[in-house]
Amino acid sequence: MSLYAVTNPATGETVKAYPTATDEQIHAAVTTANAAFKAWNRTALADRVKLLGRVAELYTERRDELAAIITREMGKPVFQAQIEVDIVASIYRYYAENGPTFLEDEELEVAAGGTAIVRKDGLGVLLGIMPWNFPYYQVARFAAPNLMNGNTILLKHAPQCPESTLAMEQIFRDAGAPEGAYANVFATNGQVADIIADPRVQGVSLTGSERAGSAVAEIAGRNLKKVVLELGGSDPFLVLDSADLDQAATHALFGRFGNTGQACNAAKRIIVADAVYEQFVEKFVGAVTSVKVGDPTEADTFMGPLASAAALDGLAEQVDDAVAKGATVLTGGGRLEQPGSWFQPTVLAGVTEDMRAFSEELFGPVAVLYRVSSEDEAVELANNSAYGLGAVIQSTDPAKAAEIADRLDAGMVYINEAPGTAAELPFGGIKRSGVGRELGRYGMDEFVNRKLIRTAK
């Protein structure tokens, strides 16, 4: 069985398999990327702008084709897949439009007189290790700013996403990227370790699990390589007693069950004030039970299958553990008995600290409800996690929402909306959710040489 293969999670059918790279191919890819860097890092900013702008245009032109690929690869409902492509186009366009400004020299005041500037230069070849849940988006937020910086990109994508991987590589080729500026490698884990250790590779960015992040960080640390890690999350969604409950229920639905719940920044722990708990639960559970689960190629399907049989098995074990230890199932609770990797949209209540669902990330369509008696209890519960990616606050009291936001241990806080993303907004977390930031101007600051140029008076 090939490591890289398209297996449609809606049916369980393996569509096509792809061979992994040989060691010789890996060595050649690094060599080519390193040679490309020496030219690309000296390429005029106008040429980088032109490349990223054309990449954005090609994503838009190929929107339906690209969406169909990831629906087939990982089961994303097609209308959500189309939205992902739109977001990706906006990211490449954003860095084409704003990258030159972000790279402008910074002038420093010098006590001794003379001048000093800080100039941002690319570092070199970067390895991106990307996950399957947002096959295009995760790559774009790594590749776009770093190509603008003058770095070159090697992409090691998730084994279940070879078709989308090749489609992205083709887009760069068609956009006129120099050979080696952006290239895919169907690498094994052992080959990934070799790439990170290669002295020509200057950094690695990973989006994925804690386990993968720890392994990559260990190898990078031994080889003194810069890393950016975007890992797991168990994001709280706080419904204060001042919340608009209809709006809160809608935001919680989209925030938890979008992408079939397979998002690191999904609203996984819904913490509700006692005074509005019963009303919110009625609205939220009603919304969840009305979700259309079905064929992800149909435009009105909201929730498709989980991305793989392994993901299905892992989520089912976590839910079964909670139920066996006394959690209450308000709706759903188990697999859908049909071919493919299907799980019911599920809401749990009564989850306690002895259950895996309390401390582990639930990467699928399972929401956990908590009832709290005060804002202090809500904040304490929200912060009682090894993760610190994002958080949501629902409240019609702006001052109170701002106060609660200041008290949350999170890299991102959204007020009165579902958790989301935008090209101009920084994305990243604290604690075991990772290190570093992507997107916005911060996304261009991770893999650059801030070179001081000092001239005496």
Angstrom distance (rounded) from CA 437 to CA 217 = 16
User: Please, where are the H alpha helices in 266-397?
Assistant: 277-289, 309-324, 356-359, 375-383
First vs last C-alpha separation in the chain:
67
Is 230 an active-site residue?
Answer: yes
Using a 10 angstrom Cβ sphere, with 0-12 exposed, 13-18 middle and 19 or more buried, the burial of residue 317 is exposed
Angstrom distance (rounded) from CA 379 to CA 46 = 47
Torsion angle (degrees, nearest 10) of CA 227, 167, 82, 46: 70
Catalytic pick among 163, 264, 361, 446: 264
Is 317 an active-site residue?
Answer: no
Picking from 418, 413, 416, the residue whose alpha carbon sits closest to that of residue 367 is 418
Distance of CA 207 to the CA centre of its chain: 6
Angstrom distance (rounded) from CA 182 to CA 195 = 15
Catalytic pick among 230, 361, 438, 446: 230
Range list of β-strands (E), 208-349:
226-230, 235-239, 267-273, 328-331, 346-349
Q: Which two tokens stand for residue 416?
A: 């009165």
Q: What are phi and psi of 325, to 5 degrees?
A: -100, 10
For residue 7, the surrounding DSSP H or E stretch is strand 4-8
- Provide the residue type at 206 as one letter: L
> In what order do the strands lie in the sheet containing 115-122?
106-108, 115-122, 448-455
Angstrom distance (rounded) from CA 81 to CA 260 = 12
Residues contacting residue 438 through CB under 8 Å, at least 6 positions apart: 141, 142, 145, 205, 228, 230, 426, 427, 428, 446
> Measuring CA to CA, how many Å separate 154 from each of 34, 307, 354, 452?
10, 24, 42, 28
User: Please, where are the H alpha helices in 244-291?
Assistant: 245-257, 277-289
Among all residues, which ones are annotated catalytic? Answer: 230, 264
